[in-house]
């Protein structure tokens, strides 16, 4: 029986692309629906009536929202290519790392590049947060020799942050300051499966340019 998997997402959203990466790593085909958040589809509102946000995964007509919840569901549903470690302690550490990126790094990145009032403080905070990740990275990937949960969630840092740096002209993630993170970034974005899913750097740069122009005008 064919898997009935639908994904409601947004091409430029790192949260949406996480789901696509996980499904691709697992070899699961899905029916993709690109959303327009200024004109949300009735299906998105039906499947995620509380937040009305992307991503949403629908498996056999059962919807799930929130990217990290979806990633864990994908890992538990399709056992090939495990995203989370089997060892309970290592699983807990991976969950902590993923939440650290979303709860700490994402807000700091947002403030460092979009906030006019808190930028300087946010840049300092982001540098400290990246130092923590730099010290945690002891292999090709946070998941060891293979891409895991923290790597997938960390695509925000590996792919979106460098494009944002180029547009804003404020470099924080550099080889001089973060050699291990920069090496990981290169390995991750050039991974044979991941690179098929990530939006092109050129498209992201164009998106960020438009956003920066609209906020500064």
Q: Which residues contact 194 (CB under 8 A, 6 or more apart)?
A: 21, 24, 147, 155, 188
pLDDT value at residue 217: 56
- pLDDT at 1 > cutoff 50: no
Residue ranges covered by each domain of the chain = 5-77, 88-216
Average confidence score pLDDT of the chain: 94
pLDDT value at residue 8: 98
Which top CATH class is 88-216? mainly alpha
Q: pTM score, two decimals?
A: 0.95
- pLDDT at 133 > cutoff 80: yes
DSSP characters over the chain: ----EEEEE-TT-HHHHHHHHHHHHHT---EEEE--TTS--HHHHHH-TTT--S-EEEETTEEEESHHHHHHHHHHH--SS-SS-SSHHHHHHHHHHHHHIIIIIHHHHHHHHH-SSSHHHHHHHHHHHHHHHHHH--SSBTTBSS--HHHHHTHIIIIIHHHHHHHHT---S-TTT-HHHHHHHHHHHTSTTHHHHSPPHHHHHHHHHHHHHHHH-
pLDDT value at residue 44: 96
pLDDT tens-digit series, residues 78-118: 999 999 999 999 999 999 999 999 999 999 999 998 887 88
CATH topology of domain 5-77: Glutaredoxin (3.40.30)
Torsion of CA 143, 68, 21, 109, to 10 degrees: -80
pLDDT value at residue 16: 98
């Amino acid at each position: 029986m064919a898997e009935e998997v639908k994904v409601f997402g947004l091409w430029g959203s790192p949260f949406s692309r996480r789901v696509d990466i996980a499904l691709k790593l697992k070899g699961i085909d899905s029916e993709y629906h690109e959303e327009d958040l200024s004109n949300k589809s009735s299906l998105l509102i039906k499947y995620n009536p509380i937040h009305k946000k992307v991503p949403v995964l629908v498996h056999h007509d059962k919807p799930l929202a929130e990217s990290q919840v979806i990633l864990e569901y994908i890992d538990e549903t399709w056992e090939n290519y495990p995203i989370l470690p089997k060892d309970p302690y290592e699983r807990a550490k991976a969950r902590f790392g993923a939440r650290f990126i979303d709860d700490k790094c994402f807000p700091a990145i947002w403030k460092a590049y979009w906030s006019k009032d808190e930028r300087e403080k946010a840049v300092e905070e982001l540098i400290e947060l990246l130092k923590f990740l730099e010290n945690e990275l002891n292999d090709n990937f946070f998941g060891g020799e293979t891409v895991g949960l923290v790597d997938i969630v960390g695509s925000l840092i590996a792919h979106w942050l460098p494009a944002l740096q180029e547009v804003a002209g404020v470099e924080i993630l550099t080889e001089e300051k973060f050699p291990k993170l920069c090496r990981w970034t290169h390995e991750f974005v050039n991974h044979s499966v991941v690179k098929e899913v990530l939006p092109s750097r050129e498209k992201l740069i164009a998106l960020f340019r438009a956003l920066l122009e609209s906020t500064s005008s």
